[in-house]
Amino acid sequence: MYKGLIIYLNKPAPFVESLSKRLLISLFFGLFIFTFLLVFQPFSISEDTDAFVLKCFGYGLITFLIMVINAVFIPIIFPKLFDSAVYKVKHNVLLSIWILVLITILNWVFTSYLFPSEELISLPKFTIITFAVGLFPIFIGSYYLERKLNNEHKQLAIEVSNTLNSYVKSVSKSQYLFHSDQNNEQLNLSVSDLLFIKSEGNYCEFFYQKNGEVDKMLLRTTMKKVKEILAEEVDVIICHRSYLVNLHNIISVSGSARNISLNFDNIEFTVPVSRSNEALVTKAIRHMQ
C-alpha cells in the first residue's frame, strides 16, 4: 500500500499554465465556499443570524484572495516546480495543503477579530473545519480538470498524429556546425538527421540519426546560440523551454492530462510540449514545408 501511494504521488499531474484560467479557478472556489456555507450552513455557522451572510462572504472572499495570490506568485517564485514537464501529484497535494493552511489561519483571524462576542473556536478545531469544507471542491475540481485536459490532449494528439501520417517527408540537405564553448569539440550535422536538442543550463545535448541508429552528443553551448544557428530552419522549433525539435522526424504525438508529447523513433522517452507552446507546435506541424 505504501509503495502504491508513493507511485501515485509521483505520477504526472496537470498544471494550468494560463494565468487567466488560474484566476477563474480561484473565483470558482471562492464562490463555491460562499454558496456552500450559505446553503448548507455547516458547523453551526448560522447561529448568529445577523452576521451569517457576512461570515459566508468573508470566508469566500478569503478563499478567493489566497488562491489568487498563490496562482500569481507561487509559480513565479518556484518556476521549475511548476514546469508542466515535472509537476506531479505530490506537488499538487502540497500546494493544496499550503493553501488550506493559509485559508484556515486567515479565516480564524477574521472570525476572532470581527466577531469577538462569539465563543472562540480553537485553531486546531478551525483547521479541521476548514479542511473538511475545502477538500471536497479541491477533489472535485482536480478530478474534473484532469479528465477534461486528458480528453482534450488525447483528441489533439490523434489529430496531429494523423497529420504526420499523411505528410510526405521532405529531406533538407542543409549542414550546420555546432561548436563547444569549453574545448575544440564540434558537431557537423545535417538538419535532416536532427531529432531534437535538449538544453540543461550551459549545455546542449544533441540527439540525431547516424547510420540508421540514434546517436547523441553533449556540447557546452546555450540554447540561444543553437537557435541562432538554426534560425532559417522554420520546422525546427521550440516546443518547451528545454527542447528544440525537428518536426520532420516526429513519428507520433501522445496526449495526457498534463500535456501533449512528441515521439521519435528509437527514443525511449517522449519530448514534452509545454502548454504555452502547444498551439505553436500543432500549428507548425499542420503547416510543415
Fold type of domain 167-286: OB fold (Dihydrolipoamide Acetyltransferase, E2P) (2.40.50)
Instruction: Write the pLDDT tens digit of every residue in 86-138.
Output: 777 888 888 999 999 999 999 999 988 887 766 667 888 888 888 888 888 88
- Alpha carbon 167 to chain centroid, angstroms: 30
Residue 127 in contact with residue 104, Cβ under 8 Å?
A: yes
Give me the residue spans of the domains in the chain: 2-154, 167-286
What is the per-residue DSSP string for 91-153? HHHHHHHHHHHHHHHHHHHHHHHH-TTSPPPPHHHHHHHHHHHHHHHHHHHHHHHHHHHHHHH
Instruction: Write the pLDDT tens digit of every residue in 42-54.
Output: 876 666 656 788 8
**Between vectors from CA 48 to CA 47 and to CA 51, what angle results, nearest 5°?**
135
Please tell me the distance from the alpha carbon of residue 220 to that of residue 204, in angstroms, as a whole number.
6
| Model pTM score | 0.65
- Which triple of cell numbers denotes residue 258? 498534463
Residue 85 in contact with residue 270, Cβ under 8 Å?
A: no
Q: What's the whole-number mean pLDDT along residues 5-23?
A: 79
Percentages (nearest 5) of helix, strand, coil residues in the chain: 50, 20, 30
Q: What is the pLDDT of residue 118?
A: 63
